[in-house]
C-alpha cells in the first residue's frame, strides 16, 4: 500500500536533547511499510498514492513504544487496590493468575492491544505467560511487540526456561519482523545464579536481548545485599548479564554506582513512574540517570499496578516527578521525554530504523488532534505535547504502514465483541477463584 498523509503538522521526533522541531504544513509518504518522504508539503516529490489521508491539521509524530508491560493483566484491572505489596501479590494477583487459560489470555491480550492502539502505542515490550497465544494475537492484530516468557527459578532446575527458549525459537522475527522475542528472567530475587548463567549463554547463542526487573523495591535491594553481598545491578554485572543488550525494568532503588554500571554496559532503563507510585515502590532517579548518559525509556507496567496502558500519563509524569524531587525545573527536557517514549524504546527492541519519522524508517506513526480544548492555544507546541496531550487526542495509529485505528474505528479488532468477551472473561476468572479452581497449575 502506498499512502500519502497530508494537511498535517509534523515532527520527526526526538532527534536530539535540546528541542523538538515542527513543520506547520507537511506531508508524509509511505510505500509499503517504509517512510519514503517526511517534510514540507511544498517540497514533497510526486507520489502516486493508493490511499490519501487528510490529516485535518493533526500532528503527525512517531508512534509510542511501551517498553515494559504485562499486557494480559488487563483482566486484573482493579484487583487488590490499595494493598501493601506482599498482600497485593499473594492475596489478589497470584490467585487470579492461576485461573488463566489460552482463551482468556487471548482475549486479555487483544484488549490490551486495543487500548494501546487507541492511545497511540505502536510497539510494546512484554513479560508474561502463554506467549505463544500472545504472539498469535499480535500477528493478527497488527501491532509490533517484543515478547518474553517470564522465567523464575528457585531450585536450580531451570525448567521454567524451556518454554521461553522454545517460544523465542518459534516466533523471533515473525510477522514481517513485527514480533521479536527476549529471554525474560523475572528478577534477581526470583532466579538463581545457575539460571541467569544459562540465560546469558542462551541469549548469546540465539542473539536475544534480556528483559528483567531490577531494583524495583527497597525490599529487592536489601534482599540482594543479603543474598549476594552487592546490589542487583552489580550482581547482574558479575554474572555477565549486562554484557548483552538488557532492558532493566524499574530501577527505582539505584545509587550512583548502579547508575555507572548501567551507563558502562549500555543498559536501557524502562521507567514506569505511575506503577512505581501506585504500589509505593518509590521514584527512580531518572534525572541523575539521564545526566550520566544512561538510556531511559518509558513503560506503563501491567494494568494491575497502573490501571491503564495510556503512555501519555507516563510522558507527563516522567519530567514532573524529577522536577519535583530535585527542586529543579530545568531537568528532563521535552525532547528527552519524547525520546524515552519513542526512539529509545525502539532501539531497545533492537530496531535502528524505528522511533523517528525519516525516509527509510518503518512507518509506525500516529496523528494527534491539535484542535482540542486541552491543546489550545498552541503557544508552545513542544510543551503541549508533553504536558497537555491526552491519549484520547490520538486520531490515527499506523503500524508497519497499515492503519490499525482511525477516528474510533479499528481495522483488525472488533471493539463491541472484544469488550463483551473481556467482561465475561474477567467474571469467569473470579468465578473460578471463588470455586477454588486452578486451571494452569
> Is domain 64-348 annotated with CATH 1.20.1300.10?
no
Q: Look up residue 362 and give its DSSP letter.
A: B
Task: Evaluate whether 377 touches 384 at the Cβ level (below 8 Å).
Answer: no
Give the Cα separation of 202 and 25 in Å (integer): 49
How confident is the prediction along the chain (441 residues), in pLDDT tens digits per residue?
999 999 999 999 999 878 999 999 999 999 999 999 999 999 999 999 999 999 999 999 999 999 999 999 999 999 989 988 889 888 999 999 999 999 999 999 999 999 999 999 999 999 999 999 999 999 999 999 999 999 999 999 999 999 999 999 999 999 999 999 999 999 999 999 999 999 999 999 999 999 999 999 999 999 999 999 999 999 999 999 999 999 999 999 999 999 999 999 999 999 999 999 999 999 999 999 999 999 999 999 999 999 999 999 999 999 999 999 999 999 999 999 999 999 999 999 999 999 999 999 999 999 999 999 999 999 999 999 999 999 999 999 999 999 999 999 999 999 999 999 999 999 999 999 989 865 564
72 DSSP assignment:
G
Is the omega angle on the peptide bond into residue 229 within 30 degrees of 0, that is, cis? no
Start and end residues for every CATH 2.30.40.10 domain found in the chain = 2-62+355-410
Under 8 Å between Cβ of 393 and 375: yes
Residue whose C-alpha is closest to residue 99's, from 72, 127, 78, 131:
72
8 A C-beta contact, residue 65 and residue 13: no
Cell numbers placing 137: 494475537
CATH class for the domain made up of 2-62+355-410: mainly beta
Give 207-263 as a DSSP string: T--EEEEES-SHHHHHHHHHHHSS-HHHHHHHTTGGGS-EEEEE--S--HHHHHHHH
Cβ(183)–Cβ(165) under 8 Å? yes
Q: Decide if 91 contacts 83 (C-beta within 8 A).
A: yes
Using the structure block, give the residue that is written with the C-alpha cell 543479603. Answer: 226
Sign of the CA dihedral running 423, 425, 426, 430:
positive
* 3 state SS of 396: strand
With residue 203 as reference, give the H or E element that holds it: helix 193-206
How many CB atoms lie under 10 A from the CB of residue 159? 11
| Spatial separation of the C-alpha atoms in residues 248 and 51, rounded to whole Å | 40
Residue range(s) of every CATH 3.20.20.140 domain in the chain: 64-348
- Work out the burial of residue 295: count CB atoms within 10 Å of its CB; fewer than 13 is exposed, 13-18 middle, 19 or more buried: buried
What pTM did the predictor assign? 0.97
Q: In a 10 Å sphere around its CB, with 0-12 CB exposed, 13-18 middle and 19+ buried, how is residue 39 labelled? A: middle
Q: Which of these, 46, 100, 54, 48, lies nearest to 74 by C-alpha position?
A: 100
Give the β-pairing of 402-406 and 409-410: antiparallel
Amino acid at each position: 500500500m502506498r499512502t500519502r498523509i497530508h494537511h498535517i503538522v509534523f515532527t520527526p521526533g526526538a532527534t536530539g536533547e535540546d528541542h523538538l522541531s515542527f513543520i506547520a504544513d507537511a506531508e508524509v509518504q509511505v510505500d509499503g511499510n517504509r517512510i519514503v518522504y517526511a517534510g514540507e508539503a511544498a517540497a514533497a516529490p510526486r507520489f502516486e498514492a493508493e490511499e490519501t489521508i487528510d490529516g485535518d491539521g493533526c500532528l503527525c509524530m512517531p508512534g509510542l513504544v511501551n517498553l515494559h508491560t504485562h499486557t494480559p493483566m488487563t483482566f486484573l484491572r482493579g484487583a487488590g487496590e490499595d494493598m501493601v505489596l506482599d498482600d497485593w501479590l499473594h492475596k489478589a494477583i497470584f490467585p487470579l493468575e492461576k485461573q488463566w487459560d489460552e482463551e482468556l489470555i487471548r482475549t486479555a491480550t487483544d484488549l490490551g492491544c486495543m487500548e494501546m492502539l487507541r492511545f497511540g502505542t505502536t510497539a510494546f515490550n512484554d513479560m508474561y505467560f502463554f506467549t505463544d497465544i500472545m504472539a498469535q494475537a499480535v500477528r493478527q492484530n497488527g501491532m509490533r511487540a517484543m515478547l518474553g516468557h517470564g522465567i523464575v527459578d528457585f531450585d536450580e532446575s531451570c525448567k521454567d526456561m524451556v518454554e521461553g527458549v522454545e517460544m523465542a525459537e518459534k516466533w523471533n522475527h515473525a510477522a514481517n519482523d513485527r514480533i521479536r522475542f527476549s529471554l525474560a528472567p523475572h528478577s534477581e530475587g526470583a532466579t538463581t545464579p545457575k539460571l541467569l548463567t544459562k540465560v546469558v549463554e542462551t541469549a548469546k547463542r540465539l542473539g536475544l536481548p534480556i528483559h528483567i526487573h531490577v531494583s524495583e523495591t527497597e525490599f529487592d535491594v536489601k534482599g540482594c545485599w543479603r543474598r549476594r553481598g552487592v546490589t542487583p545491578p552489580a550482581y547482574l554485572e558479575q554474572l555477565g548479564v549486562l554484557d548483552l543488550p538488557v532492558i532493566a525494568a524499574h530501577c527505582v532503588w539505584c545509587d550512583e554506582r548502579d547508575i555507572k554500571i548501567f551507563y558502562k554496559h549500555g543498559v536501557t532503563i524502562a521507567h514506569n513512574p505511575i506503577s512505581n507510585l501506585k504500589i509505593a515502590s518509590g521514584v527512580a532517579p531518572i534525572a541523575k540517570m539521564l545526566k550520566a548518559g544512561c538510556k531511559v525509556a518509558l513503560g506503563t507496567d501491567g494494568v494491575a499496578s497502573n490501571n491503564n496502558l495510556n503512555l501519555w500519563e507516563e510522558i507527563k509524569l516522567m519530567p514532573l516527578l524529577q522536577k519535583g524531587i530535585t527542586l529543579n525545573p530545568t531537568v528532563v527536557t521535552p525532547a528527552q521525554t519524547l525520546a524515552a517514549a519513542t526512539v529509545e524504546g525502539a532501539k531497545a527492541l533492537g530496531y535502528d530504523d524505528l522511533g523517528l519519522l525519516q525516509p527509510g524508517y518503518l512507518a509506525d506513526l500516529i496523528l494527534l488532534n491539535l484542535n482540542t480544548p486541552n491543546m489550545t492555544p498552541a503557544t508552545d507546541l513542544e510543551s503541549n505535547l508533553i504536558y497537555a496531550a491526552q491519549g484520547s487526542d490520538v486520531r490515527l495509529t499506523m503500524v508497519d504502514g497499515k492503519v490499525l485505528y482511525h477516528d474510533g474505528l479499528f481495522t483488525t479488532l472488533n471493539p463491541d465483541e472484544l469488550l463483551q468477551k473481556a467482561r465475561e472473561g474477567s467474571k469467569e476468572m473470579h468465578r473460578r477463584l471463588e470455586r477454588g479452581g486452578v486451571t494452569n497449575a
